[in-house]
Chains A and B, each alone.
Chain A
Amino acid sequence: MTDLETVANIAGVSAAVLGDLEGTFLGAVRTGDGETIAAEMGFVGSSFLDIGALLGLGTLGSFSLSGRARSCLLVVRPQSLITALISPPQSLGPVERAIDTAFQEWT
């Protein structure tokens, strides 16, 4: 199973997109809007990398966003970014923990 499929199969993840920091679209599960999301999250990821460097916080590991309707989690992998769209938004915490666990298995 690929990283993208692993994330997409976590309970609470409504869609998942694989991209990179250049905004390149590499794949998606359960969304037809993957190219837009990959571009957007590539830009967001690279922006927060810059912010982390400015603030001396080191490299970016993940970025999560919580809204009224849904949440979103961006996970930075060595060669890629995985975006998980989460619904309902309250599932963000469990999804983060599930992805952390999956990371440990991957590494």
Chain B
Amino acid sequence: MDTILQGLLDMAGVNAAVLFDGSGRLLAHRGKSVYDRALCEQVGGPLARAIDSLQLQHDDWESATAQFADGTLLLRRVDTASAGPCVLALVADSTLNPAFATVAIRVSSNKLKRALDGGGASSSVGSTGQASALGSLPSYPAAAPAGPGGSQVGHPAAASRPVLASSGLSWSRTGGGGVTAADQPSANYLTACARELARHVGPMSKIFVEEAVRRVCPDLPFSLAASRALADELAARIDDEDDRQAFLVALKKSGGK
């Protein structure tokens, strides 16, 4: 992976090329001068939180660009089977050629995906394999509990029995693995919960949903049978009575019981 990142770093205007996993952990890095590993590691947390929030409305995002007064941050989603959704980040100054950079980051993200999924780089990724803050993998909708820790494995081979649908709410940073849903309607309901709750409490809604699912289904994948209990838990987060009722009505329309 270092070779791939070095190729990006050699491009004019690029000061750092960094690969983060879904929880914002730095997987690989190449940087010039001040863009050392320690600095880039600090960026992982805020970046993962920002992408968590973005995914409320844009769960199919592929690339992003942040334009600053003194440079540019380019992001490219890299969906991998071995490390979950990762993000390739380029830190560049004003001399960057945006057209070249767009092509280069696409090519490099494909190479990184192959490197990560090919197994050769797995040791540098750690033993994660868990679903992550940077989004669910559209091509791998199934996930199954991996072990006593409750972490998830976002890989088709792990989806045995019961068949669990990824809810898109599997955020490793909120502690001890993610949230799983028993079937697709249940996963859809969780997504609806996060979206409706966000109207009242803002971008922390997904975290509240995840915490509430752990309370109402501590040992089981979430299913619609627990939808009423989940709705009541979440409604308690809303101060205004009218808003609370509107929230419950919206959830019923979304398939809740």
- A interface residues with partner B (beta carbon < 8 Å): 23, 33, 35-37, 39-40, 42-44, 47-48, 50-52, 54-70, 72
**Size range of the chain B interface in the assembly:** 20 to 34
Task: Check B43 against A63 for contact (C-beta < 8 Å).
Answer: no
- B interface residues with partner A (beta carbon < 8 Å): 34-35, 39, 42-43, 46-47, 49-50, 53-54, 56-58, 60-73, 91, 195, 198-199, 202-203
Task: Check B58 against A57 for contact (C-beta < 8 Å).
Answer: no
Given contacts A39-B203, A40-B57, A40-B203, contact A55 B91 (CB under 8 A): yes
Given contacts A51-B73, A55-B35, contact A65 B54 (CB under 8 A): yes
Task: Check A60 against B53 for contact (C-beta < 8 Å).
Answer: no
Given contacts A47-B46, A47-B50, A57-B73, contact A66 B66 (CB under 8 A): no
Q: How far is the CA of A70 from the CA of B57 in the complex (A)?
A: 10
Q: How far is the CA of A61 from the CA of B70 in the complex (A)?
A: 10
Chain A residues whose CB sits within 8 angstroms of the CB of B49 once the complex forms: 43, 47
Interface of A (DSSP majority class): mixed
Question: Measured between C-beta atoms, what is the minimum distance from B196 to chain A in Å?
Answer: 9
Q: How far is the CA of A23 from the CA of B70 in the complex (A)?
A: 25
Given contacts A39-B198, A43-B50, A66-B61, contact A57 B203 (CB under 8 A): no
Task: Check B202 against A67 for contact (C-beta < 8 Å).
Answer: no
Chain B residues whose CB sits within 8 angstroms of the CB of A63 once the complex forms: 64-67
Chain A residues whose CB sits within 8 angstroms of the CB of B62 once the complex forms: 66-68
Q: How far is the CA of A36 from the CA of B54 in the complex (A)?
A: 11
Chain A residues whose CB sits within 8 angstroms of the CB of B66 once the complex forms: 48, 51-52, 60, 62-63
Question: Measured between C-beta atoms, what is the minimum distance from A2 to chain B in Å?
Answer: 23
Chain B residues whose CB sits within 8 angstroms of the CB of A72 once the complex forms: 57-58
